[in-house]
C-alpha cells in the first residue's frame, strides 16, 4: 500500500527559468514524507509526545521533466524497506499522469533528546512492515557519468 499527496505548484517555487526550483521538488517530496508519517502513526502528536521523528540521512533525486507554475502535482510514496530504526522510501512525482521526478530516501527514527537513532514503537513498526512494497527499478542506482 502507498500514500498519495496532491499539491499545486506555487508561484514562489518557480525559478528564473520559469519552472519548479530544485529545492521545490525536494520541498514537495518532504510534504509527501510527512503524509506517510501521518499515515503510519508518526504524525505531530507522536512527535510531540515521544520526542522522536524521522531524519532523512540520504536522498537521491531524479529530475525527469520541467514543472511549470500552477500545475497540480501528485506524489506517490512507497515504503520499500523498513528496519528497526530505519526507513527507505521512494517518491514518484507526476503531472497529469506523467512521471516528472523521483526521490529515494533513507531515514532514521531519531530520539531528539538522545540525539541518536532508536527503534520504532511496535505499533509503528508493524504499520511500516505492512506497507513495504517491491523496490522500483530506478531505486538504488548510483550517479554515473
**CATH number of the domain that 92 lies in?**
3.10.129.10
Q: Which secondary-structure segment (H or E) carries 25?
A: helix 22-40
As given in the structure block, the three cell numbers for residue 91 are: 517518491
Per-state percent for the chain, helix, strand, coil, to nearest 5: 25, 40, 35
Within a domain: residue 140?
no
Residue 138 lies in a domain: no
In a domain, 123, yes or no: yes
Residue 139 resides in a domain? no
- Render pLDDT for 80-112 as a digit per residue (tens, 0 to 9): 999 999 999 999 999 999 999 999 999 999 999
Q: How many domains does the chain have?
A: 1
**What phi, psi does 138 have (nearest 5°)?**
-80, -15
Position 102 in a domain? yes
Q: Is residue 81, in this structure, part of any structural domain at all?
A: yes
Scanning the structure block, which residue is given the C-alpha cell 508518526? 42
3 state SS of 8: strand
Residue 135: CB partners within 8 Å, gap ≥ 6? 80, 81, 90
Residue 16 covered by a domain: yes
Sequential pLDDT tens for the chain (145 residues): 578 999 999 999 999 999 999 999 999 999 999 999 999 999 999 999 999 999 999 999 999 999 999 999 999 999 999 999 999 999 999 999 999 999 999 999 999 999 999 999 999 999 999 999 999 999 998 887 7
Reported pTM: 0.94
49 to each of 53, 105, 114, how far by Cα in Å? 11, 25, 15
For residue 66, is it within any domain? yes
Provide the residue range defining the domain that includes 79: 3-131
Amino acid at each position: 500500500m502507498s500514500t498519495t499527496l496532491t499539491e499545486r505548484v506555487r508561484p514562489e517555487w518557480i525559478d528564473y527559468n520559469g519552472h519548479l526550483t530544485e529545492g521545490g521538488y525536494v520541498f514537495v517530496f518532504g510534504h509527501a514524507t510527512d503524509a506517510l508519517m501521518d499515515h503510519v502513526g508518526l504524525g505531530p502528536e507522536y512527535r510531540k509526545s515521544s520526542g522522536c521523528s524521522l531524519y532523512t540521512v540520504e536522498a537521491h533525486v531524479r529530475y525527469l521533466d520541467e514543472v511549470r507554475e500552477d500545475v497540480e502535482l501528485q506524489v506517490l510514496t512507497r515504503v520499500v524497506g523498513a528496519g528497526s530504526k530505519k526507513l527507505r522510501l521512494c517518491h514518484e512525482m507526476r503531472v497529469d499522469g506523467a512521471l516528472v521526478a523521483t526521490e529515494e530516501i533513507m531515514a532514521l527514527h531519531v530520539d531528539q533528546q538522545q540525539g541518536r537513532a532508536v527503534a520504532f514503537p511496535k505499533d509503528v513498526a508493524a504499520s511500516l512492515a505492512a506497507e513495504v512494497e517491491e523496490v522500483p527499478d530506478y531505486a538504488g542506482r548510483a550517479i554515473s557519468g
